[in-house]
Amino acid sequence: MIPIIEPVKQQMNGMNIALGVMIENGMKFAIILNPNDGDFKHENIDNDILKQLPQIIDKKTQWIPAYTYKNNPERLLEHASLNGLDDLMIVLPKGVDVTDERLMSFLSNETVRYIVFANSGARSVRPRLLKLDKHIISLKDRFNSRTRNADYELVNDEFFSDDFAFYSADGLYGFSDYTTIGKDFVEGGMLPYAIAIHLTYKKTEEEIYVHHFVSENNYDQSNIKGKFHEAAQKIEPFFNGCDIVHTSAVDELIEKSKSDDGYPGLGYLKKLSVKNHLELINRILPE
């Protein structure tokens, strides 16, 4: 499993710590070198990612240089050449127009090794990409986002993905998703009326589902700690009742649900949801 990481903050202290841990543990990762979100939406922001991540410069065998395609192939190739980068990963979050000769020529360039494409649209896209003899990886937003957290209770158990079971049969090198966050980057926020904890699990041999654990008293924005306990206390009965193997993230949530001081904050809850999904995928992928 190789995480594709897009920086969103110009301040890179946290990113450097995370990358250092991955390097220390021999975990391969991809870094998007032309980020689009967060601080990097602004033109006056220094987006020279490599300059701010010096520890990866001499560790080129441990990470993959990645670029989001923005109709600028010449600029991407120039940046890669100036920095001595090859085996590039090109991410196409809006899909691939296989009739675009300029794009297809770029993707066939010898410096491009991985192509991550939004797997939607015409069925002819995948076979056309496979002819390029690259590592082709599908990308889908599998999380069904809702406007209000309380609305997750309306369908609290739903299909998430079967990509892990069929990507290889489709001729793909891999598959990817946006975990339980969804593709839209949202910065900041406000206190919610409801707490919703989203946990993926393997329901059948070929299906991953996501279960939404939602608080009960959702009439105002008070007592967030109490709402957390209302939602989190549903996790253990569900996982034990379905005889689902726990991830360490699920175990941590169950432990916190039993403690009066267990509420870890909204950001940490989201981290545990993501951690659970990563642990799950890592567990079910073949060796």
Residue pLDDT, tens place only, 14-58: 999 999 999 999 999 999 999 988 888 877 666 788 888 888 888
In this predicted structure, the answer to whether residue 121 has a pLDDT above a threshold of 70 is no
Edge-to-edge, what's the strand order for the sheet holding 207-214?
157-161, 207-214, 196-204
Q: Which of 200, 196, 190, 104 is nearest to 153 (CA)?
A: 196
* 218: confidence class by pLDDT, cuts 50, 70, 90: very high
Place of tokens 């490599």: 50
Q: Tell me the per-residue pLDDT of 162-193, one tens digit each, with 9 for 90 and over.
A: 999 999 999 999 999 999 999 988 877 778 99
Cα–Cα dist 232/208, whole Å: 20
pTM score, whole prediction? 0.92
Cα–Cα dist 119/183, whole Å: 14
Q: Tell me the per-residue pLDDT of 223-236, one tens digit each, with 9 for 90 and over.
A: 999 999 999 999 99
* Phi/psi at 199 (5° precision): -125, 120
Provide the β-strand partners of residue 201: 209
Q: Which of 46-50, 59-63, 133-137 has the highest mean pLDDT?
A: 133-137
pLDDT confidence of residue 52: 86
